[in-house]
Chains A and B, each alone.
Chain A
Amino acid sequence: MLLKRSLPFTVTTRKYNYMSAAQELAKKVRIHALKMANSGGGSHIGSALSIADILAVLYAEILHLDPKNPKLEQRDRFVLSKGHAGAALYATLAETGFFPISKLATHYQDGSDLCGHVSHKGIPGVEVSTGSLGHGLSLATGMALAAKIDQKKHRIFTLLSDGECDEGSTWEAVLFAAHHHLDNLSAIIDYNKIQSLDTVADTLELEPLADKWRSFGWQVQEVDGHNHQQLQSDLSALPLESGCPSVIICHTVKGKGVSFMENTVLWHYRVPRGEEFATALQELEDS
C-alpha cells in the first residue's frame, strides 16, 4: 500500500474541528518527540516541535512511499538535513509504519541505533544520515541529478534548518541545483528564526532570505509552516516552475505546541524533566 494520501488515520471530531490525518500525525509526533527527549535526555526538542507539522503533511499527504518497501525504487526521497531534529523523523516513520513504535523508546539509549542525530543504519525509511549541518542539500542534488540522468519521475525533498543556511556548503549546493535545472528537487526551510545560542537575526542575519534564494535561481514560496492547509497546497504544487529547483520557506515557531518552549533559545538544548515535562505533555495531549 502506498502512503501517498492513503494513511489509515481516523478522522476524529473535536468540538467543531476536524482533525485530519496529518494533524493527528503531527500531534503524535510531538508527543513522541517530547517523551524521547525526556527519557533519553536528548536536546533539540524545540527543533523537533518546529518541524512536526511539515513532516506530518509530507508523510501523510505528499511523499510517495511504501512503509512495507522502504527501498521502493520509484519512492520519493526525503533527506532530513537538520539531523538534530531526528526524533521527529523517527516518530513520523514509526507512526507511518516503517518500524514499530516501541523502538522509539530506545532513542538515545546505550546500544541503540536510534542515534540522536538521524542515522540510516538499521532504520527503515531514513534515506541518509546527517547531523553535521550543510550536508543534506548536496546529497539531495546528487539524488536529483541521478533521477534526471536515469529519466526517473520520483522527487527529492530535503528539510533544512535556518541555521544551516549559514553553511557555505549549503550555498554551493544552491548554486549547483539552479545551474543544473533540478526541478525534481525541493528544499524546505524550517525558518523558526532561533539558532542554538541566539536568534538568527542576532547571530547571522539571513534576511532577505527569500530574495537570496530567488537570486540564486530558485523558485520561492513562503508559507506558515504550521498551517497544514497551506503546506499541503504548496507542497502539492511542486515544482513551483518547470526547470528550476523550488524552495518552500516555512515560517515556524521553535518549540511549537508547548507554550513555555515556544520562541525560546533555551529549548534548543534544554531537556524536558519533571514538572516541565509533565506540563508540556499535558499541553500536547490537550491540543
Chain B
Amino acid sequence: MRDHFIQCLGELVQQDPNILLITGDLGFGVFNDFRENYPDNFINVGVAEQQMTGLATGLALEGKTTFTYSIANFATLRCLEQIRNDAAYHGANVNVVCIGGGFSYGALGISHHATEDLAILRSIPDITVVAPCGYWETMAATAAIAQEPGTAYLRLDKSAGDDSAISDGESFRLGCARILHSGTDCTIITAGGILEEVQKAAAELSSKNIAARVISMHTIKPIDVETVLTAATETNALITVEEHTVNGGLGSAVLEVLADHEQFTRVLRIGLEGGFSSIVGSQQYLRQQYKLDAASIAQRTIEFLEQ
C-alpha cells in the first residue's frame, strides 16, 4: 500500500504543486523517487511528529494540501492533540498517513502495533477515517482525501486484499462501502489489509455452502449507514473483521449504526480482545495467534451462524 500511496501522490503533485508530503524522518528508501522528482514538495521535519502536524496545519491554512507521514502510532497518537486542536478544529486539509496499521510491524513490539488508532481517530470530530483494503482503494483514497477539504486519516497496511475495481471505470467515493463479493447467508464487513484473510475465509465458507457477502468498509468515518442496514436486512448475520481492538473500531461503528436504527441483527465482532500483545511476530503469525487469520475467521463465522 505504501508504494501505491507514494505513486499516487507523485501523480497528484504533477497536477497540483500545492501538495506537500511531510515525513517524520521515516520512509527509508520509499521516498527516493518522489524526493528526487519533487524536491519542493517533500519535507523531512526530523523525529518531531508534533511539529510535523502543527507545521502541516499552518501550511494548510495558507492553501497547501498536506500529507503527514510516519509509521504505526507515531503519525497519530504522538501528535493526537495537534491533529485534534490544530488540524481538525481548523478544518485544515491535513491528511495524516500511517503506514503500519494493525500488526504490520508485528515483530517490533507494542510501540509499533497500531491497534487502537481507528477508535481514537474516529472519535475526533471533523476527521475522515479511511483504511483501504488493498492497492486500488489506497490509490483512490489518496486522491480523494487530497481533493476533500478538511482533515483525514489514511491507515495503510503492509498487507492487502484483492480490492481491484469491481467494474470498468468504477469510481471510488469516500463514505461509500464496496461490495466485493455477493452473498446472502451472512455479511463480513472489514477494513484494511486484513481483507486478504476475509477473502480466504469467504472462499472457505463458500466451499461449505455458506454464501458470505464481503464488504470493504474502507471509510470507517463517515460510515456507510445504508450499506450496513441493507446487509443487516438481507443477510442473517454480520461479522466485522478488523486488525484492531474490538473496542471502538469498525465493529463498534457497525453496532452503533444498527442500534441507532433499531436494527437488531446478530453481530460477531472479530478483532483484538486481549489487550496489549507482549509477544511479537510477523503479521501472519500474530493474526493466527489472535484468531484473525482466514481459518479462524471462517471457523468462528460457522460457529456463530450455528448458534
Chain A positions within 8 Å of B, measured between CB atoms, are: 120, 128-132, 134-135, 137-147, 149-150, 168-169, 172-173, 175-176
Of B40, B60, B89, which contacts A142 at CB under 8 A? B60
Complex Cα distance, B207 from A251, in Å, reads 77
Number of interface residues of B (CB under 8 A): 25
- Please state if B54 and A143 are interface contacts (CB–CB under 8 Å): no
Nearest CB in chain B to that of A176: its residue: B51
- Contact residues in A for B64 (Cβ distance below 8 Å): 146, 149
Contact between B81 and A142, CB atoms less than 8 A apart: no
State A169–B48 Cα separation when bound (angstroms).
Answer: 8
Interface flag for B199 (CB, 8 Å) = no
17 contacts between A and B (CB under 8 A): A129-B89, A135-B81, A138-B54, A139-B54, A139-B86, A141-B51, A141-B55, A141-B58, A142-B58, A143-B62, A145-B59, A146-B59, A169-B51, A172-B50, A173-B51, A173-B55, A176-B46
Least CB separation from A119: chain B residue: B89
Name the prevailing secondary structure of the B interface residues.
helix
Inter-subunit contact B50/A134 (CB<8 Å): yes
Q: How far is the CA of A128 from the CA of B61 in the complex (A)?
A: 9
Q: Do B55 and A150 touch (CB < 8 A)? A: no
A140–B43 Cα gap in the complex (Å)? 16
Residues of B within 8 A of A172 (CB): 45-46, 48, 50-51
Judge if B263 is at the interface, Cβ distance under 8 Å. Answer: no
Task: Pick the residue among B40, B48, B56, B90 that contacts A175 (CB under 8 A).
Answer: B48
Contact between A146 and B85, CB atoms less than 8 A apart: no
Q: A139-B86, A176-B51 are in contact. List 12 more A-B contacts (CB 8 A).
A: A128-B90, A138-B50, A138-B86, A139-B54, A141-B51, A141-B55, A143-B59, A145-B59, A146-B61, A150-B63, A172-B51, A176-B45
Q: Given the complex, which residues of B lie within 8 Å of A141, measured CB to CB? A: 51, 54-55, 58
Chain A nearest CB, measured from B25 CB (Å): 12
* B residues lining the A interface (CB < 8 Å): 40, 43, 45-46, 48, 50-51, 53-64, 81-82, 85-86, 89-90
Complex Cα spacing A4 to B50, Å? 33
**Residue of A with least CB distance to B59:** A142
Which of A135, A144, A146, A147 counts the most chain B CB atoms within 10 A? A146
Which residues of A have CB within 8 Å of B43?
A: 145
Contact A132 B81 (CB under 8 A): yes
B85-A142 in contact (CB<8A)? no
Contact of B58 among A120, A134, A140 (CB under 8 A): A140
Chain B residue with minimal CB distance to A168? B50
Query: Do residues A139 and B57 form an inter-chain contact, with CB atoms below 8 A?
Result: yes
- Residue from B46, B50, B90 within 8 A of A169 (CB atoms): B50
Inter-chain contact B54/A142, CB cutoff 8 Å: yes
Return chain A residues, CB-CB under 8 Å to B62: 142-143, 146-147, 150
B20 to chain A, nearest CB (A): 8
Chain A, residue nearest B66 (CB): A142
Q: Tell me the smallest distance from the CB of B71 to a CB of chain A, in Å.
A: 18
Decide if A175 touches B46 in the complex (CB within 8 Å).
yes
Shortest CB-to-CB span from A126 to chain B, Å, is 11
Question: Does A142 lie within 8 Å of B55, measured CB to CB?
Answer: yes
Check B90–A120 contact: CB distance below 8 A: yes
Query: Nearest residue in B to A140 (C-beta to C-beta)?
Result: B58
- Which A residues are CB-close (under 8 A) to B85? 129-132, 135
How far apart are the CA atoms of A141 and B43 in the complex, in Å? 13
B228 to chain A, nearest CB (A): 32
Minimum CB–CB distance for A148 against chain B, Å: 10
